[in-house]
A and B are shown apart, each in its own frame.
Chain A
């Protein structure tokens, strides 16, 4: 729980009648046989535990690199990604490090710009559904009763549709592009996080500090926003991290099928669309292997990051 700003190690009785605060502030003399650790804040502990997980740490570094690449795309991309800048279907060369595609666009530049689409759609859609899911989950868990019943039925309806298929159908019916992909994924994706938040709220709701907040006369709004929400944030964070990974995968899959981001806008997914033709697949591997590896790397890194976060926060470490 993040309210624990300090931690005492050792036998409690060793402190005699000192309050924890006195120990913490270093006012009191240190009892001889007590191991007093004036320990770090919750954030620091979490950070230290996170860094112990080497895979998660380097995944995070890698991700920062990808974010940097997306932000600096206009600076680092050698060519304009959406126009013809070279020969058609040219193999990698000094001028075009990863070659060109069937209309002479530079693969490397498209790859760099494609990271923007992946990150925007991934983070954007998760942000939308986390917002909806957290709000409804808090309402459902805190209010209970009819509100809870109605919201839970709605989540059942949403979860009954096969996720990928329904998103694919809706996106292609309203017109596929980056914004619609992000919006539809956001609007359809909230039920799992809603249920997660609801479950966490139910756990926290029975705690003494909530009861005392109610007795003290805080408004329900304050209790939910200041007392409950901060204490359910960790599992939400972990869930959202994994969510970004699957959102990036889904965007790439939709774009691959031609039902997501449309060319000439470069997305890692739609760069692979042409590889459905056996000629491209076998004769021009430079056109489809780099974007495939890009999706794999980004998604893998985010999943490792989520796993590291989960462990550091003290979630299910099994």
Chain B
């Protein structure tokens, strides 16, 4: 098992390397000099040169890249162009709101989607199944910004049940109920997208399992339906479920750009939009790399989980 994990880790090193090169090239190919942000019109050429060398911009690209990587691994992501704060500090501040929003959304989505997927499969081709499937089509087709705006319009403004944005009311940071109310609408927007995929996977997976001989055996043995459902069907339909979780997990970092923007949620997504608008390259680079690393780690985690659940996978590779 440990050998398997190590092997997987080694395989992802070249990918990680290419990802970092990609991000570096991306940011350095863009028009404009990062030093422009630090240079004022009244500076002399000597002062400009000094600024550039302080930022390391006078060195060859290759050296810049290696220094950047070295700093990156020691947790030094540079300084934000616009606020001059350390990038790591800004990211840390923005991370927990995003983590909160995404984990609650994923949880809500799965809690709704897994039973719905099972119900749809057990009632294959009935009107229940059709409405659940139709619902997933609606969810994947609803533009998140339109859904968010519509929710704010109806529930936030017209009926005034929920706040229209933000995470807390200023001065009432300890108001738990208020915090929960702020969470509801963004969670609904995120969860509707996450759930659609999960419902379809669960349904397909349960349908696969239902065809298996061991289910027929279980039925003919006279086991109770509930027992078959949980002990036989659900357990065996887990693998595709893990796949979906694996594709959802990396979105925790950058998946909520639009939702955060609409609801003025102070997380990584809205930070990305702000960083793009102010051309804050150090922040962008850090976000891109960290989210790519998250994708790789999530893939690794999924593969390891597969191997834990289904030992056959371990021996095939």
Interface residues on B, range: 35 or more
B203's partner among A170, A253, A318 (CB-CB below 8 A) is: A318
Known: A159-B295, A169-B288. 6 other contacts (CB 8 A): A162-B295, A165-B257, A169-B26, A249-B143, A256-B258, A296-B142
Is B262 located at the chain interface by the 8 A CB criterion?
Answer: yes
B146 adjacent to A296 (CB under 8 Å): yes
Is B164 located at the chain interface by the 8 A CB criterion?
Answer: yes
| Closest chain B CB from A284 CB (angstroms) | 11
Q: How far is the CA of A215 from the CA of B50 in the complex (A)?
A: 70
B204 adjacent to A318 (CB under 8 Å): yes
Asked, given contacts A160-B292, A272-B145, A318-B204, whether A300 binds B257 with beta carbons under 8 Å apart, the answer is no
Q: How far is the CA of A166 from the CA of B250 in the complex (A)?
A: 13
A172 adjacent to B253 (CB under 8 Å): no
| Closest chain A CB from B135 CB (angstroms) | 12
A257 adjacent to B273 (CB under 8 Å): yes
B22 adjacent to A157 (CB under 8 Å): yes
B257's partner among A156, A159, A257, A258 (CB-CB below 8 A) is: A257
| Closest chain A CB from B292 CB (angstroms) | 4
Asked, given contacts A173-B30, A299-B141, whether A164 binds B157 with beta carbons under 8 Å apart, the answer is no
B146 adjacent to A157 (CB under 8 Å): no
A residues within 8 A CB of B208? 318
A169 adjacent to B15 (CB under 8 Å): no
| Closest chain B CB from A213 CB (angstroms) | 30
- Residues 39-57 of B, flagged 1 when their CB comes within 8 A of A and 0 if not, give 0000000000000000000
B residues within 8 A CB of A126? none
A316's partner among B19, B29, B204 (CB-CB below 8 A) is: B204
Is A292 located at the chain interface by the 8 A CB criterion?
Answer: yes
| Closest chain A CB from B16 CB (angstroms) | 8
Closest to A154 in B: B18
Is A94 located at the chain interface by the 8 A CB criterion?
Answer: no
B149 adjacent to A288 (CB under 8 Å): yes
Closest to A242 in B: B140
Is B4 located at the chain interface by the 8 A CB criterion?
Answer: no
A252 adjacent to B143 (CB under 8 Å): yes
A300's partner among B141, B291, B292 (CB-CB below 8 A) is: B141
Within A233-278, the residues touching B (CB, 8 Å) are 245, 249, 252-253, 256-259, 269, 272, 275-276, 278
Is B179 located at the chain interface by the 8 A CB criterion?
Answer: no
| Closest chain B CB from A144 CB (angstroms) | 18
Interface of B is mostly: helix
Closest to A170 in B: B26
- Residues 266-299 of B, flagged 1 when their CB comes within 8 A of A and 0 if not, give 0000001100110000001001100110011000
B143's partner among A170, A292, A307, A318 (CB-CB below 8 A) is: A292
A169 adjacent to B18 (CB under 8 Å): no
Q: How far is the CA of A113 from the CA of B287 in the complex (A)?
A: 36
Is B137 located at the chain interface by the 8 A CB criterion?
Answer: yes
Is B255 located at the chain interface by the 8 A CB criterion?
Answer: yes
Q: How far is the CA of A278 from the CA of B276 in the complex (A)?
A: 23
A162's partner among B140, B152, B158, B291 (CB-CB below 8 A) is: B291
B157 adjacent to A281 (CB under 8 Å): yes
A281 adjacent to B18 (CB under 8 Å): no
| Closest chain A CB from B82 CB (angstroms) | 15
B residues within 8 A CB of A303? 137, 140-141
Is B105 located at the chain interface by the 8 A CB criterion?
Answer: no
| Closest chain A CB from B151 CB (angstroms) | 11
A residues within 8 A CB of B203? 318
B145 adjacent to A282 (CB under 8 Å): no
Is B222 located at the chain interface by the 8 A CB criterion?
Answer: no
| Closest chain B CB from A148 CB (angstroms) | 15
B residues within 8 A CB of A252? 143, 145
A residues within 8 A CB of B250? 162
- Residues 149-164 of A, flagged 1 when their CB comes within 8 A of B and 0 if not, give 0000110110111101
B150's partner among A154, A257, A258, A292 (CB-CB below 8 A) is: A292
B149 adjacent to A160 (CB under 8 Å): no
Closest to B250 in A: A162
